[in-house]
Amino acid sequence: MLRHETQVLTNSDLVACVLANDVTGFPRLVDQLHRIIGSAWGHLSLDDSAAYLSHSAQKKPQFLVLALAQQDLMDIAKLQNICRLSVACDCPVILVSNVASSQLAQALPDDFSPLAVLDTQSMAHGLERAVSRLLLQSQWSQGTDSSATTGRVIMLQSLASGSGASLIAQEVANSLSAGGDPVSLVRFLDESENCSDAQHSRVATSLTEVQLPNTGGAGMARHLQKVATEYVEQGQQVVVSMPPQLISAAADLVPLADTFFAVAEITPRAAQNTRILRRVMADAALSLQDVRFILNRLGDDARSLRRSREMAAALCIEFSHIVPDAGRLSDRGGFRSGETFVSALGGILAHVSQLTQRKYQAA
């Protein structure tokens, strides 16, 4: 079964509230909200929005979606009042509109700064990216204080050379670092890459890269355990990028991780290594449910979609996250390659942001 979903856990029944006179006029917005947060969102007309936002005792959602049509700009005073009230109640706003940006600039107050401004063309990836950013930076999914963040271990196992696991690991580490968390990005290098026992290089303000030798087997797992213990106890987030040669050590690595991603493409090598991963997990009596499969570089044509379903069915797995082929989208006049790749990681980042309790135990 092919699946692409993000489940947001919150302490509030209402994650989002859409402020719109006619929400049916924004079908893509409705579809995307259902995909990202399920039924955990509500809707108010613009006439009811002011009273709702000004009610101090009313429990507010985690974010608002202000959906504006051309006719909504006819009552600028009401619209500006809604914007000012959202600022006053400190509730982040995602603005969705097909109105020209120049008209919006004239209608909205100067002190109104929405988290994101989306139109129907950028809705597919932009909304999930904006919601993920909220989850990462504020940790609303669990209602935790960022100052009390505990360390956690996020592992990304490449199922074939060139599958993109390293790039995804780098993006996850960058996003966590951008949210203010101290992050260690761990890479395994072989002897040809001239890696010392543990080489550290500062690559960003709160992101440190840690290079470990690819010794393979239990020795490598013990080495990773030692490094992870050091950084997790300091409250750091540890993102680990693992090459396909380490699949045989998955039984030693999966128990160390808060979440374990396996990154695949639609290739025979990735399929073969997925079978190896399944066998290693079964031999160690570990559940395959502890592994979340990412399908990278999926084309948007019917043949690619059919092959992805056939691959998932043949391997008896589910792809929890789909990353489209940014190059193909770019060639067809869609989003630029980098923007498409980053925005498609929204579901992965949202899942990572939900991790507050680590199952990693130091030896």
Whether residue 325 sits in one domain with residue 192: yes
Helix 346-353 and helix 165-178, axial crossing angle in degrees, nearest 10: 60
Give the pLDDT band of residue 165 (cuts 50, 70, 90): very high
Q: Is residue 176 part of a domain?
A: yes
What ranges in the chain are assigned the alpha helix state H?
A: 27-37, 46-54, 76-88, 101-107, 123-138, 165-178, 217-232, 250-253, 268-283, 302-315, 326-331, 337-344, 346-353
One domain for residues 221 and 127: no
Could you identify the residue written with the tokens 């890459």? 193
Of 107, 138, 169, at which residue does a domain stop?
Answer: 138
Quick one: 134 and 231 in the same domain? no
| Candidate ranges 3-7, 99-103, 246-250; pick with highest mean pLDDT | 246-250
Which range, 217-226, 272-281, 286-295, 354-363, has the best average confidence (pLDDT)?
A: 272-281
User: Which strands, in side-by-side order, build the sheet including 183-189?
Assistant: 199-204, 207-213, 183-189, 237-242, 152-158, 259-264, 291-298, 319-324
For residue 328, the domain's CATH number is 3.40.50.300
3-state secondary structure of 152: strand
How far is residue 132's CA from residue 114's CA, in Å, rounded to a whole number?
15
Average pLDDT of the residues in 117-134: 72
Same domain, 229 and 342: yes
Where a domain ends, among 114, 138, 162? 138
Distance of CA 88 to the CA centre of its chain: 29
**Residue with more model confidence, 343 or 241:** 241
Inform me whether the pLDDT recorded for 12 exceeds 70.
Answer: no
- Look at 61-65, 94-98, 339-343, 347-351 and tell me which has the smallest mean pLDDT: 339-343
Task: Please state, as a whole number, how many other Cβ atoms lie within 10 Å of the Cβ of residue 115.
Answer: 15
Please check whether residue 45 lies inside any domain of the structure. yes
CATH number at residue 63: 3.40.50.2300
Residues 184 and 75 in one domain: no
From 93, 111, 138, the end of a domain falls on 138
The answer on 168 and 91 residing in a single domain is no
CA dist 2 and 106 (Å) reads 44
Q: Mean pLDDT score of the chain, rounded to an integer?
A: 76
| Gap between the Cα atoms of 301 and 130, Å rounded | 26
Q: Give the confidence band of 260 by pLDDT, cuts at 50, 70, 90.
A: very high
- Is residue 361 one of the residues assigned to a domain? no
On whether both 227 and 337 belong to a single domain, the answer is: yes
pLDDT digits (tens, 9 = 90+) for 264-295: 999 999 999 999 999 999 888 788 888 999 99
Domain coverage including residue 87: 16-138
Buried residues in 306-320 as b, exposed as e (16+ CB within 10 A): eebeebbeebebebb
Residue 359 lies in a domain: no
Q: How confident is the model at residue 14 (pLDDT cuts 50, 70, 90)?
A: confident
How confident is residue 148, by pLDDT bands cut at 50, 70 and 90? Answer: very low
Q: Closest Cα to residue 327, out of 302, 296, 356, 358?
A: 296
Answer yes or no: is 143 within a domain.
no
What dihedral angle (degrees, nearest 10) is formed by the CA atoms of 99, 110, 114, 329? 50
pLDDT given at position 327: 53
Query: Are 201 and 87 in the same domain?
Result: no
20 and 129 inside one domain: yes
Number of folded domains in the chain? Answer: 2
Same domain membership, residue 328 and residue 179: yes
Same domain, 134 and 177: no
| 182 in the same domain as 84 | no
Q: Is residue 363 included in any domain, yes or no?
A: no
pLDDT tens digit string along 33-48?
A: 887 777 788 899 998 9
